[in-house]
Structure 1
Amino acid sequence: MKAWTFALAALAAIAAPPLAAQMERVPDRVAGEGDGPFGKLLIRGATVIEGSGAPPAGPVDILVEGNRIAALYPGGAPANEVQAAQRVVDAAGMYVLPGFVDVHGHNGDAVKAPQPSYGYKLWLAHGVTTVRGVSFYFGPNTPDLSDAARSAANTITAPRLIPYAVFGDKWSGGNPDSPAKAREWVRWAKAQGYWGIKFFNSASPEILGAALDEAKKQQMGTVAHLAQTGVAEVNARKAVELGLGGVTHFYGHFESLLKDGLPYYPEDYNYFDEQSRFGWVARLAPQAVEPGSEKWDDYVDFLVDSGVTLSPTFNIYSASRDVMAAKTRDWHAKYTIPSLMDFYAPSATNHGSYYKDWTSEDETAWRQFYAKWFALTKDFHDRGGRVTAGSDPGYIYQTWGFAYVGELEMLREAGLAPLAVIRAATIDGAREIYEPLGKEAPMGRIAVGQLADLVIVPENPLANLKVLYGTGHTRMNPETGAVEQVGGVRWTVKDGIVYDAHALLADVARMAEEQRAAR
């Protein structure tokens, strides 16, 4: 069996649900679940954080006609526009941002969460209006494309869904194990309606190069998780040289920066034992050169000059540096359904559930790993590289929506300024998706003509990103001494449709309670 075939089979084994457990169909959006779109929707009195990095400005009235921003009125809209509006949202004292873009989404494992609307509603409740699925579901005959079409038509309650396919997945044409067959698979995926390709770097350089070249010709996006099974031949530098558009996670970076030619693994290392895999990946950091060294700076400059995008997904591995904190997050009790908590628990089979004997030494190694990973991302960003926000939810105690806000907090921890974090979450994420198509992103900024994808928040996220969590932020009232929960997204607007974030969270809490009661 070829290495590529073996690696993909292993991926399928950890990513696909058992045959007995099937994903449910997403129900149609019912009356009252989202309001609009309107001939005229007016959002009044907001402070606008418009997405490009410009400072906040307000009060501003935002006029939406249908699914587009029609006008911005600093100080207030004229009386005739106020009177003509079919709905007015009073956002006085609140903050309005572009809808968030999650560039790394999954939603297809019935063992964890059989109803996809669980994840879709959690994303929307946290202001995420666009998700790139890499991919949403693994395997053939999955509803990636139909979910995307139904979301585009707003017949389901979901963010805008951008479907990518994993290289070699979905079709019945056999393994793309030659350059010619790789090109054939890319053309097939394009014809089906996929916007891009997710690689796991198990193909040879020749096959990967052919697929990337064909993807560019077909105007498809490309992103790679450069798995350790193939990174000896294709590290991040090599993949980017071959034409890769985006690197997600950390894989391939430290292998490009090793002091010696190949990484050291102990003699009892086993990639398919995930505690071994994830425990030792953190030990790559000391094997790499130091920030500021000649090899480090050359690599960062190479990445920036290439135009590649980094979506680090810091959050998805954050439990590795403090597993006790990760499994006791505020939201698990109310919003994480029991089947998902079961999946998160230490397991020999569930992907990402690798804390079978996780020690303080493992956590220390991961904290040191993060320091170097943060430094790489910060240097790349500071030199002009594009960083985007992806959450990779549904694994390792990272529940949909909450995980995305966690990613924003970790981008801030890496050293990006608050406005830069919001830019990564909005316009830069939108551009990463639309640039391969040769199109200007239709969303990602609050500007006239842009799609009406908006997040309305009572508190200022630039001062405290925690106010974006669905559970809000705990704060003591200085006047009364009472401990209060403040913040949380109030409304999410997608395609001009106003969703009540509180109602979405109540639906999710009901799903969790019903599953608990059924047990």
Structure 2
Amino acid sequence: MKFWKVVFASLAAMGAQPLAAQMESVPDRSAQEGEGPFDKLLIRGATVIEGTGAPPAGPIDILVEGNRIAALYPGGAPKDEARTVQRVIDAKGMYVLPGFVDTHGHNGDPAKAPQPSYGYKLWLAHGVTTVRGVSFYFGPGKPDLSDARRSAANTIVAPRLIPYAVFGDKWSGGNPDTPAKAREWVRWAKAQGYWGIKFFNSATPAVLEAALDEAKLQQMGTVAHLAQTGVAEVNARKAVELGLGGATHFYGHFESLLKEGLPHYPEDYNYFDEQARFGWVARLAPQAVEPGSEKWDDYVDALVESGVTLSPTFNIYSASRDVMAAKTRDWHAKYSLPSLMEFYAPSATNHGSYYKDWTSEDETAWRNFYSKWFKLTKDFHDRGGRVTAGSDPGYIYQTWGFAYIGELEMLREAGLSPLAVIRAATIDGAREIYEPRGQEPPMGRIAVGQLADLVIVPENPLANLKVLYGTGHTRLNYETGAIEQVGGVRWTIKDGIVYDAPALLADVARMVEEQHGER
């Protein structure tokens, strides 16, 4: 199959279309949306979880000047300093973390969520201040670039947007089916303003190697969804050997660990029938060697030594192990658009809506699959490999923002400690994005000189990651006997601009109500 047929078949299977002209434009940020940046902003009395894995410390006052952290004052800021600030946030008893980094973002399409600010506001309401789009939009046109520029200027309400392009997409230069053409496309993408490249493994090994090499020369990041259509030639081990910087999802890992030969699929298997595709993905796990075996350990060591980053996106497939739970999440009624819920429902065409005949046998296979996938990720992490947090929202009952917190919970389930989860969500995500550019990230930890990207939460997320969900966490108050809803992000600060997280959620709830009314 020719390159473009494979690429666009893959994109079609993901529910992608050439959407640039069809999406609504993101409205300008109004005067009522976010406060600041201020000459001086003081966050007072917080317990700080600074992002690198260091334990919490507090109380600490954080002084922000413009969009940068200017000073950290253990015990409290000097009185003279406190008198000069324009805004004080009382964070006594609260926790402050670096802004979260989502390393795997997409944003809507006309059928699901035509207004991009729906996803942007949900991300911000959950503390996500930076998103790498892989891609934000597929097809010709560049709303991902214009949205990124507008976000950098803070003229729209959105996280910091890092645009990647799918290899071969977006240009009119024809099929990059030779090493020379691959290099040309990479240079073109760099000139347009894209920070990196997302591969679907649809190129030959020689073309992929040339593209990866040129990307390094151009200081662009690379990440791959190693689709089953190309994994027989390029599994994860081979891709890493060719120079891949990041691997997302599970694709390519189990194919690198097979006990023998190629994967076994039934005679009537059809990749474009997603019921078969995702049903049989889980059946790869028993075909792979066991954790702790020589081949397993050799593979994990090879990944670590290569410097590749793993962004597993556990959450996006979690419905496969319990569909009923996924479709009845607390937030769907108030925060998931009716059009989005329709897209999620079983369908023969919508990507990820493959539950046409999903059985207990399928769910059991996926639970077993996760056990092995968790172990692979944990072994990689424990041996020094970098793991980051990506949510891949807008598919399979995973709504923006909520999906990201779900990914943090699943990183914890995989065995990462709470501090390691926060590190994956902050400094390690920032480093994955900035390292290809030869730069230390300007955000991702709480330190003097860093960008003022911060999350302020009333409850301790290290004790319970559920307090980061916009819907909060249900808990009994033993003093009053009342059942209370606690938690949720209180403020998200991006570039020194203070966003009221509950107000962002209220905006999203209005979008949902309006669409219900229209229907």
Alpha-carbon distance between aligned partners in 1 of 2:383 and 2:497, rounded to the nearest angstrom: 38
CA distance 1:217–1:233, change in 2 (3 Å): same
Deviation for aligned residue 1:109: 1.1
Distance 1:232 1:20 in 2: 33
User: How much does 1:339 deviate?
Assistant: 0.3
Q: TM-score, normalised to structure 2's length?
A: 0.99
Kindly report which structure 2 residues correspond to 1:75-224, keeping only aligned pairs within 5 A, or say none.
Answer: 75-224=75-224
Give the distance between the partners of 1:314 and 1:95, measured in 2 at CA.
26
With structure 1 as the length reference, what TM-score do the two structures score? 0.99
Q: Aligned letter for 2:250?
A: F
Identify unmatched segments of 5+ residues in structure 2. Answer: none
Counterpart Cα distance in 2 of 1:186 and 1:268: 38
Deviations 1:188-242 (A, max 9, x none): 0000000000000011100000000000000000000000000000000000000
| Cα distance between partner residues in 2 of 1:296 and 1:104 | 26
Structural mapping, 1:251-400, within 5 Å: 251-400=251-400
Structure 1 position 17, deviation (Å) = 4.1
Pair 1:8 & 2:7 matched: yes
Structure 2: how far apart are the matches of 1:373 and 1:266?
A: 22
RMSD: 1.0
- The DSSP-based 3-state class of the residue aligned with 2:277 is helix
Work out the CA distance in 1 between the residues paired with 2:496 and 2:308. 32
Distance 2:117 2:318 in 1: 25
CA contact (8 A) 2:19 2:110 kept: no
Q: How many residues align?
A: 518
Question: What residue in structure 2 maps to residue 402 of structure 1?
Answer: 402
- Report if aligned partners of 1:108, 1:138 keep a CA contact under 8 Å in 2: no
Extract unaligned runs of 5+ from structure 1.
none
Distance, in Å, in 1 between the alignment partners of 2:224 and 2:11 is 16
Return the offset for 1:91.
0.3
Q: Distance in 2 between matches of 1:237 and 1:104?
A: 21
Q: Which amino acid aligns with 1:274?
A: E
CA distance in 2, matches of 1:155, 1:225: 32
Q: 1:493 is paired with a residue of what secondary structure?
A: strand
Indicate the SS of the match to 1:154. Answer: coil
- Any idea what the Cα deviations from partners look like across 1:357-394, whole Å, max 9, x if unmatched? 00000000000000000000000000000000000000
Moved more, 201-210 or 4-13: 4-13
Tell me by how many angstroms 1:57 deviates.
0.1
2:64 match = 64
**DSSP 3-state at the match of 1:443:** coil
Query: Helix, strand or coil for the counterpart of 1:38?
Result: coil
Quick one: structure 1 residues 379 and 497, their matched pair in 2 at CA, closer, same or farther if it must change by over 3 Å? same
Q: Give me the whole-angstrom Cα distance separating, in 1, the residues matched to 2:166 and 2:253.
A: 21
Q: Given residue 454 of structure 1, which amino acid in structure 2 is its aligned partner?
A: L
Tell me the residue number matched to 1:412: 412
In structure 2, give the amino acid aligned to 1:219. Q
Q: Could you tell me how far 1:19 is from its partner in structure 2?
A: 7.1
| Matched residue, 1:496 | 496
Conservation of the 8 A alpha-carbon contact between 2:18 and 2:138: no
Contact 1:105 1:393 in 2 (8 A): yes
Structure 2: distance between partners of 1:460 and 1:180:
52
Aligned counterpart, 2:470: 470
Letter in 2 for 1:32: Q
| Matched residue, 1:33 | 33
User: Residues 507, 19 of structure 1: CA spacing in aligned structure 2 closer, same or farther, 3 A cutoff?
Assistant: closer
**Distance in 2 of aligned mates of 1:123 and 1:129:** 7
Does the C-alpha gap of structure 1 residues 335 and 175 become closer, same or farther in structure 2, counting only changes over 3 Å? Answer: same
Residue 344 (structure 1) shift: 0.2
**Residue pair 1:21, 1:110 contacting (<8 A) in 2 also:** no
Q: How many Å separate the matches in 1 of 2:482 and 2:430?
A: 41
Distance 2:338 2:89 in 1: 36
Equivalent residues of 2:20, 2:141 under 8 A apart: no
Equivalent position amino acid for 1:433 in 2: I
How far did residue 21 of structure 1 move? 8.5
CA distance in 2, matches of 1:216, 1:465: 36
Aligned counterparts of 1:224 and 1:62: Cα–Cα separation in 2: 38
